[in-house]
Amino acid sequence: MYDVIVIGAGAAGLMAAATAARNGNKVLLMEKMEKAGRKIRISGKGRCNLTNARPPEEFKEAIRTNADFFDVAFAEFNNKATIRFFERIGVKLDIERGQRVFPKSGKAWDISNALVDYCLDNGVEIVYNTRVTEILAIDGKVYGVMFQNKRGFTRKEEADNVIIATGGVSYPGTGSTGDGYLFANKMGHTIEELRPSLTPLRTSHPQKKFLDGLLLKNINAQLFIENELVKEEFGEISFSERGIEGAVALRLSRDAVDAIIEEKRVKIVLDMKPALTEEVLFDRIKREIAEMQPDEFFSELLRKLVPKHFVIPIAHELDIHSKNYIRKVTDTEIHRLIKVLKGMVFPITDYAPFEYAVVTAGGVNCDEVNKYTMESLKVKGLYFAGEVLDLDANTGGYNLQIAFSTGRLAGQLKK
């Protein structure tokens, strides 16, 4: 019999298991995939943005749901403690633009491997290809789990405590398929509506077919819901077959998704030249034209103002042929060009599914969980950690910090 069974060997589960083992517990970590930390290994485009070094008050602003609930876990194990922890277990780190923290090697698996080694060093028993099918409880108290082993046989394992750290439903190929929500619901917990968060946004813009692969840097993006400005972001945005993405779009997506679900009108307005006023931009364009040969094309002017990939979409947007001679461009057309550069509108009609979402919004209702221990208020000995909870945040390392902090707190079990 084990003291603690942890379900899910992701960021939260690995941290919870190691912490519980360091406290003297006999710990079994059960993972249904063939290896641990699969989502960690692909996070941050394979580099793993494991936390953000911003001060506490700024960090809290990035927590989108139940920030007050998260306060206790963050106070117990905050971003500074996370940085010290990984450096202590041998992972050298770098702090990059936006206070984002990455392994110095640039390899996400260094984080995953370090956590697995930390678990093993502290005596955690890890079993792979093992799928938990049921949490066992009687008279409001956990006593173990039912599971299927890699041979397909159903078995039972007993423990006084079970920690659910199964993640959400984003990136299901990594093993996050929503098992924890089913377990929690069966134990009497409320599951807040699940929806993709930090996910690409789909647009009906007529030029979208030309935009695949386009990356725009140093742009300003405004999110409008029912023609009301609700959020503004600065940075990079990109376009792919998945939709509008990049850090800026992902940060806007949280509000956009909720609005789309509520069938509200959503649009993103891009300012490609946020550092320039319309007057300054007009003067610049006039100077560019004055330095060009009369038989040069309108496309060559656009190439001086936007990335090459964006020339045709801008020309189509303006309904000006890219092969028009520059000498024929009028001041009226220049003003139209400026309006597009300073405010190109992208109607948002849908969002990408969970397969492309960084995290899952929604989850186990935090009002039903003890924020000081992560223990269920409904079933004794049942704990939650990580994305399975109704906790999510902006992109930038905040969501992995949620996993580490709640995992650490859930694992603070005394034998």
Joined together, the tokens standing for residue 368 give 């039903």
Separation between Cα atoms, residue 117 and residue 114, nearest integer Å? 5
Neighbours of 168 (CB within 10 A): 29
Which residue ranges does the chain devote to CATH 3.50.50.60? 2-196+359-410
Segment 291-342, tens digit of pLDDT = 999 889 999 999 999 998 899 999 999 988 888 898 888 999 999 999 999 9
From residue 300, give the alpha-carbon distance in Å to each of 70, 309, 312, 323: 52, 12, 11, 9
CA separation, residue 111 to residues 10, 82, 88, 168, 395 (Å): 11, 12, 12, 20, 18
pLDDT in tens, 347-391: 999 999 999 999 999 999 999 999 999 999 999 999 999 999 999
Task: Report pLDDT for 209.
Answer: 87
Residue corresponding to tokens 């397969």:
355
Report whether 364 contacts 379 (CB < 8 A): no
Position 180 scores a pLDDT of 96
Report the pLDDT value the prediction gives residue 1, as an integer from 0 to 100.
Answer: 86
381: region left, alpha or beta (phi > 0 left; psi from -120 to 50 alpha): left
Residue range 42-57, pLDDT digits in tens:
998 899 999 999 999 9
Reported pTM: 0.90
Q: What percent of the chain has pLDDT over 70?
A: 100
CATH 3.50.50.60 assigned to domain 2-196+359-410? The reply is yes
SS3 string of the chain? CEEEEEECCCHHHHHHHHHHHHCCCCEEEECCCCCCCHHHHHHHHHCCCCEECCCHHHHHHCECCCHHHHHHHHHHCCHHHHHHHHHHCCCCEEEEHHHEEEECCCCHHHHHHHHHHHHHHCCCEEECCCEEEEEEEECCEEEEEEEECCCCCEEEEEEEEEEECCCCCCCHHHCCCCHHHHHHHHCCCCEEEEEEECCCEEECCCCHHHCCCCEEEEEEEEEEECCEEEEEEEEEEEEECCEEECHHHHHHHHHHHHHHHCCCCEEEEEECCCCCCHHHHHHHHHHHHHCCCCCCEHHHHHHCCCCHHHHHHHHHHHCCCCCCEHHHCCHHHHHHHHHHHHHEEEEEEEECCHHHCCEEEEEECHHHECCCCCEECCCECEEECHHHECCCECCCCHHHHHHHHHHHHHCCCCC
Q: Which two tokens stand for residue 284?
A: 């610049």
Residues of the chain with pLDDT under 70: none
Rounded CA Rg of the chain: 25
CA atoms within 13 A on the CB side of 149: 8
Residue 149's contacts (CB-CB under 8 Å, 6 or more residues apart) are 127, 129, 130, 155
Q: How far apart are CA 130 and CA 32, in angstroms?
A: 4
In this prediction, residue 322 carries a pLDDT of 84
